[in-house]
Structure 1
Amino acid sequence: MNTIVITGGTDGMGAALARHYLAAGDQVTVIGRSRSKFDTLVAAVTSDDPSAAARAEFIAADLSLVADSRRVVDHLLAHHARIDALVLAASFIRQQRQTTTEGHEASWALFFLSKYVLVTGLAPLLRAAERPVVVNTAVPGARADAVDFEDLEMVRGFTFKRSNAQQRRANELLGVLATDDNPNLAYITWGPTRLVRSSFAGEVGKGMRIAAAVLGKLLGQRPDAAVRPIIGLIDDPKPGRAAYRGTTKRALNAGDQDAARLAAAVAESL
């Protein structure tokens, strides 16, 4: 029985993965904000397999808060001997710059700082696994120079496009840090080939919300279909960094110096 930890595991692709691995007989920890959605998810699986309830764990957390991310790490370190797969799938889209109660730019905090805290903090549990894997649903392929090291929180000149590109590139660099620390780790930045149907959580304009709803219904993949490539990568991990769109492998830019620079900057900000 493997231990699978999934952020954003109550909706969309995260929930689809949680259902799959509970049905497969694994221990699944879901990190999210909605206990009711988690209970509904577990009930759907236990209708076929009553034992799933004992293998399902929920940790309530707002991962845009560094304190909550650290609390999650502390809980997992205290209650688990290893983590076989860590899936980073939490999402909340913000078109405008917002600041958390801790003073961080909210999208940067959710889409990168939380992942940094989880990947680095849970490194001992990943090292304890025989074939550990991190799947980070940060779509690969951002420009190599997308990180603004002088203004990581984008106090100046925030745009949704710049913010998105910086988060994606930073998560690729996080893979450099993680695999340098643990050469046995498979670290995968992954994105779907097309839109995935979900509740589209976020604070966005009416135009984006309508477009997502219409296109999702017309062209979007069902979450359980979209995650099939992820399941394959988790079940047969290969050590080192890799990037995929669906099942298609993508090239990754090097970035050892940038990764070290990012780690130093984040350590100072945290």
Structure 2
Amino acid sequence: MTKTFVITGGTDGIGAAVARALFSRGDHAVVIGTDPRKGTRLLREAADSPGTASFAPADLSLASENRRMIRELTEAHPRIDGLVLCARFFQTHRKVTPEGFEHNFALFYLSRFLLSHGMVDALEKGDTPVIINVAGPGQDIPINWADLQSENYDGVRAMFTTGRYHDLLGVDFAGRHGTGPVRYVLFNPGPTSTSFAGEFDAPTGRFVEQQKASAKPATEVVPPIVGILDAPPAEPLSAFGGHTRIGVQNDLFSPTAAARLATITEQLLKPRAT
């Protein structure tokens, strides 16, 4: 039976590689991205494959766009078998979205919070539904609760700190929905040569190019991700670095901290609810 998978950041890098693997074997990949040209190119590839693909243009740095995607996609696809969260965009200099959020916080964290919780009903109709949050679980980076949106901004630190929020998002999700069928998986792909989408100053740009030259291709990350999509772990929350398990029974995955972040997040989003 054909399965439906939603992939954010699906026109580049890991997201696009996963989408290709899915429609190449006969599944349907719903790709969310910002560039219609890249979306069209991926659809042309899917046209010659056993499966299918669709492209959903959206700026996921906006909470309103995430809510629109949740409404439209769950209406079009009442049953969703998996959600793969890949979208992020590096900013050397701090940028604020039109909704008033720091851009990295909005795209890399708030979007994944909204989509994770917002697609639960459709995911619960799948046989073995799973959310894969592609980030960097288990990094021992302190959270500055007084500055969650990086007023004191450093692009690299903001990216890694926001990655810590995903650990707590996974804990929060499992706490709310763990008795249901949806499994939450935090996934660290390791150094991978992707598009490295972002706006870089010159030194950071040179560093990124060096990293791309030595990193593994995105296609090498596909097998463990597709393996998780096909056979999710039994636990409500798990974490992996490639094929290797990462423990989630430690202070980095504190339920107390997870509840605190979830409460703050909901308060931030509430005035913008539509």
Same fold (TM over 0.5): yes
Report what 2:238 is aligned to.
242
Amino acid at match of 1:241: L
Task: Flag structure 1 segments of 5+ consecutive residues without an equivalent.
Answer: none
- Alpha-carbon separation, structure 1, partners of 2:157 and 2:88: 17
2:122 pairs with 1:121:
no
Asked if the contact 1:38/1:58 (under 8 Å) is kept, the reply is yes
- Alpha-carbon separation, structure 2, partners of 1:180 and 1:36: 39
- Could you tell me how far 1:79 is from its partner in structure 2? 1.4
TM-score normalised per structure 2: 0.90
Report what 2:272 is aligned to.
none
Amino acid at match of 1:222: P
CA separation of 1:60/1:254 partners in 2, compared to 1, >3 Å: closer, same or farther? same
Report what 2:182 is aligned to.
185
| 1:235-260, Cα deviation, whole Å (9 max, x unpaired) | 11013211111111112233111111
Q: Which runs of structure 1 show a deviation greater than 3 angstroms over 4 or more consecutive aligned residues?
A: none
* RMSD of Structure 2 on Structure 1 (CA): 1.6
Look up the SS of the partner of 2:253 in the other structure: coil
Report what 1:77 is aligned to.
74
- Could you tell me how far 1:139 is from its partner in structure 2? 0.7
- Alpha-carbon separation, structure 2, partners of 1:208 and 1:133: 34
Report what 2:63 is aligned to.
66
Bigger mean CA offset, 127-136 vs 245-254: 245-254
Report what 2:96 is aligned to.
99
Task: Flag structure 2 segments of 5+ consecutive residues without an equivalent.
Answer: 270-274
- Alpha-carbon separation, structure 1, partners of 2:190 and 2:80: 28
Report what 1:224 is aligned to.
219
Report what 1:109 is aligned to.
106
Describe how 1:32-71 pairs up with structure 2 within 5 A.
32-47=33-48, 49=49, 52=51, 55-71=52-68
TM-score normalised per structure 1: 0.91
Amino acid at match of 2:34: R
- Alpha-carbon separation, structure 2, partners of 1:165 and 1:88: 16
| 1:148-205, Cα deviation, whole Å (9 max, x unpaired) | 32332222x22234322321121111111222222232211111232x2222210112
Look up the SS of the partner of 1:115 in the other structure: helix
Amino acid at match of 1:75: E
- Alpha-carbon separation, structure 2, partners of 1:66 and 1:227: 28
Amino acid at match of 1:109: A
- Alpha-carbon separation, structure 1, partners of 2:134 and 2:99: 25
Report what 1:150 is aligned to.
146
- Alpha-carbon separation, structure 1, partners of 2:211 and 2:147: 34
- Alpha-carbon separation, structure 2, partners of 1:74 and 1:42: 22
- Alpha-carbon separation, structure 2, partners of 1:23 and 1:75: 25
| 1:200-247, Cα deviation, whole Å (9 max, x unpaired) | 210112222223223323x22121122221111111101321111111
Amino acid at match of 2:267: E
2:164 pairs with 1:164:
no
2:263 pairs with 1:264:
yes
Report what 1:131 is aligned to.
128
Look up the SS of the partner of 1:165 in the other structure: helix
- Alpha-carbon separation, structure 2, partners of 1:46 and 1:77: 23
Paired positions, count: 262
Amino acid at match of 1:176: V
Asked if the contact 1:149/1:265 (under 8 Å) is kept, the reply is no
Asked if the contact 2:128/2:182 (under 8 Å) is kept, the reply is yes
Asked if the contact 1:146/1:165 (under 8 Å) is kept, the reply is no
Look up the SS of the partner of 1:227 in the other structure: helix
